[in-house]
Structure 1
Amino acid sequence: MTETDAYDILSDTFLTVLLASAPVLGVALAVGLFIAFFQALTQIQEMTLTFVPKIAAIFVVLLIATPLIYSTVKTLSDRVFDLIASGTV
């Protein structure tokens, strides 16, 4: 295993983590911004207003994005296990 192979595996791993977490983080960001604007406009400063909708939205997106997350992680793990099985790692 050369340094280039290790770099390729690490870069693919970082890209996989970003792609797998992007839907959940994006929805959390969007819902958080929407709630912050809503609270600023209405001057309602209820703490549960920030957490409950965000948790619900994250849960729904996690249910919807689970196949995408699974296929992304499975692709990386198949590639790494193939490298291990071929003896190049």
Structure 2
Amino acid sequence: MGENLIFDLVRQSLWIAVRMSAPLLAAALLAGVLIGLFQALTSVQEMTLTFVPKIGLMLAVFWVSMSFMTSVLAGFFTDGLLPLIAGGG
């Protein structure tokens, strides 16, 4: 297995990780901004007000995007890793 092949595999793996985490991170960012805006407008400074809705929204987004994440990861393994393992490098 050559050096370029390993670097390409690591690059693809990192890109897959970014694609899989993007929906969760976007949901957390959106929830954080909206809740922060709500807290600033109402002067309510409660710690659980930021934590509970953000976790709930992230769980909902994870549940909705689970099939996308599974298909991306399965595609990476079947198209990227399995041919390397079967071909021996």
Q: TM-score, normalization: structure 1?
A: 0.94
Cα-Cα RMSD: 0.8
Measured in 2, the distance between the counterparts of 1:72 and 1:16 equals: 7
2: distance between equivalents of 1:50 and 1:21? 20
Runs of 4+ in structure 1 deviating by more than 3 angstroms, as ranges, are none
**Aligned position for 1:18:** 18
Name the % identity.
Answer: 38
CA distance in 2, matches of 1:51, 1:66: 22
**Structure 2: gaps (5+ residues):** none
TM-score scaled by structure 2?
A: 0.94
Structure 1: where are the runs of 5+ without partners?
A: none
Letter in 2 for 1:81: L
The residue that corresponds to 2:71 in the other structure is 71
Q: Whole-Å Cα distance in 2 between the matches of residues 41 and 19 of structure 1?
A: 34
